[in-house]
């Protein structure tokens, strides 16, 4: 008999969102102000803000039923820190916020969907920024642990998989996302503050890893890391090394810290070359060693092709030493991200080479495009192509020996893009609204919804068979 080719039994087919991008209700039921709210409000004349978004907060039951119909086995979402603690470190939590996430978790359980919960996804409470500057201060470490401890106590019996911080390297490279003033500080000072914040987030995360292991021994916890996968524009060693350095700074440094429990030497050297010195105490070294991840969550979208600049400042940061190049043979979104599915297999193999047998969750992976609703339908052929080819390459990576346990593409439903509003659509489910008109807010299943539904139903076997012919 020929063995049926499919994904491993129990594979977590799902999809992802984040609180500030879908919930709306930004100023309802006691929720506090966040950096994400402030950032989006500054651009409300250009795009949708967080006030209503796609109103997941008031459409919880309908949205979870759509997840159930899709066949989702998991749902990766985030809890808004400021919906639980409006100022980030209040003595008493916000009861309405607590109840909202209990309602969501209970609905997921009723529909046999495994929650994968992110604690912090781009929406730092402004209260912490106003009190002491947010992550730039060491005070943030204790406040994040305090918040995490509450989540473990309140929801620990309902959540098996936890994610700590979403795309730490992205918010470090865009430091206004954590409340750092980028207008009234020099470029060097902003870089320094961002890297100090990076260090504090890493210490806080290690403490939370250990806390989870001590408090919830049956749960698993890991980071959600932006996995860049840089490729050299040429075979020149300067371009190869630039691609490696970009990967190291953006992705592997944080993976090394999370899995190996130490800050890699190459990262320290890069900091020093940029004129940044971070003192690491013996206590911090011990903290990192004692708190390591059970798995790696990776947000992977595309490859990034880079070329080393001919001229750059000697002590500049790696992002200022390179330029991004487009490959004329690849498809690109309107926002410059390519469709390079073999890159995913390559990226997953690199993870397995570096961290053998560490389980991997793909916590984001998706295709953005402008879309129109036509007679109640959305024909998103390119998203189907993206999903089909990336899922197959993921299957090949599993056959290679990579322990991929979940696939949660971005995003389940159309969301507020943090930089590009509602025009940049990622969802499997279309929401009838645009940047400036809420319209009906009705949900419509896109063609990709039905395609992914069949993939889940057959555990990938139909897709694999198609490629095997």
Catalytic member of 3, 167, 381, 465: 167
The two three-digit tokens of residue 346, written as one number: 């390559």
Angle between helices 447-457 and 60-70 (to 10 degrees): 50
423 in active site: no
Residue 178 near residue 126 (C-beta atoms within 8 A): no
**Quick one: CA dihedral 420, 452, 167, 61, positive or negative?**
positive
Q: Residue 89: helix, strand or coil by DSSP?
A: coil
374 in active site: no
Distance CA 385, CA 324 (A): 24
Q: Which residues contact 469 (CB under 8 A, 6 or more apart)?
A: none
Q: Which residues contact 403 (CB under 8 A, 6 or more apart)?
A: 352, 357, 358, 359, 360
Q: Which of 390, 416, 432, 246 is nearest to 321 (CA)?
A: 246
Catalytic member of 189, 283, 364, 389: 364
Unique residue bearing structure tokens 């209503």: 52
Residue 220 near residue 253 (C-beta atoms within 8 A): no
Q: What is the DSSP letter of 85?
A: S
Size of the chain, expressed as the number of residues it contains: 469
Which residues does the annotation mark as catalytic?
A: 167, 364
């Amino acid at each position: 008999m020929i063995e049926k080719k499919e994904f491993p039994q129990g594979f977590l087919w799902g999809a992802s969102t984040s609180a500030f991008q879908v919930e709306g209700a930004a100023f309802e039921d006691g929720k506090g102000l966040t950096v994400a709210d402030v950032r989006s409000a500054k651009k409300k004349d250009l795009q949708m803000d967080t006030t209503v978004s796609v109103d997941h907060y008031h459409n919880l039951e309908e949205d979870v039923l759509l997840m159930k119909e899709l066949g989702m086995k998991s749902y990766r979402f985030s809890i808004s820190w400021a919906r639980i603690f409006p100022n980030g470190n209040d003595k008493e939590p916000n009861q309405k916020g607590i109840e909202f996430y209990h309602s969501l978790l209970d609905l997921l359980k009723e529909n046999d969907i495994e929650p994968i919960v992110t604690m912090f996804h781009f929406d730092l409470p402004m209260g912490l920024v106003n009190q002491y500057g947010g992550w730039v201060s060491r005070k943030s470490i204790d406040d994040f642990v305090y918040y995490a401890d509450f989540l473990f106590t309140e929801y620990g019996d309902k959540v098996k998989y936890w994610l700590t911080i979403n795309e730490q390297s992205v918010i470090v490279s865009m430091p206004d996302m954590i409340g750092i003033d980028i207008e009234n500080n020099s470029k060097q000072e902003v870089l320094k503050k961002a890297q100090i914040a990076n260090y504090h987030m890493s210490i806080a995360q290690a403490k939370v890893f250990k806390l989870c292991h001590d408090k919830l021994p049956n749960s698993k916890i890991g980071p959600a890391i932006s996995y860049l996968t840089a490729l050299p524009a040429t075979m020149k060693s300067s371009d190869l090394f630039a691609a490696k350095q970009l990967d190291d700074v953006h992705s592997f440094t944080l993976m090394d810290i999370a899995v190996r429990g130490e800050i890699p030497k190459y990262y320290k050297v890069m900091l020093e070359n940029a004129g940044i010195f971070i003192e690491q105490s013996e206590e911090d070294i011990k903290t990192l060693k004692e708190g390591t991840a059970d798995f790696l969550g990776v947000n992977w979208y595309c490859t990034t092709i880079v070329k080393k600049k001919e001229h750059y400042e000697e002590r500049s940061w790696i992002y200022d030493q390179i330029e991004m190049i487009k490959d004329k043979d690849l498809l690109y979104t309107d926002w410059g991200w390519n469709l390079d599915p073999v890159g995913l297999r390559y990226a997953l193999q690199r993870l397995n080479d570096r961290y053998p047998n560490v389980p991997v969750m793909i916590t984001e992976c998706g295709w953005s495009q402008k879309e129109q609703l036509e007679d109640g339908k959305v024909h998103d052929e390119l998203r189907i192509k993206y999903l089909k080819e990336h899922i197959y390459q993921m299957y090949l990576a599993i056959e290679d020996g990579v322990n991929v346990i979940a696939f949660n593409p971005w995003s389940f439903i159309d969301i507020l893009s943090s930089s590009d509003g509602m025009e940049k659509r990622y969802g499997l489910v279309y929401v009838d609204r645009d940047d400036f008109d809420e319209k009906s807010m009705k949900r419509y299943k896109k063609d990709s919804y039905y395609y992914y539904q069949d993939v889940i139903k057959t555990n990938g076997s139909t897709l694999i068979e198609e490629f095997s012919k």
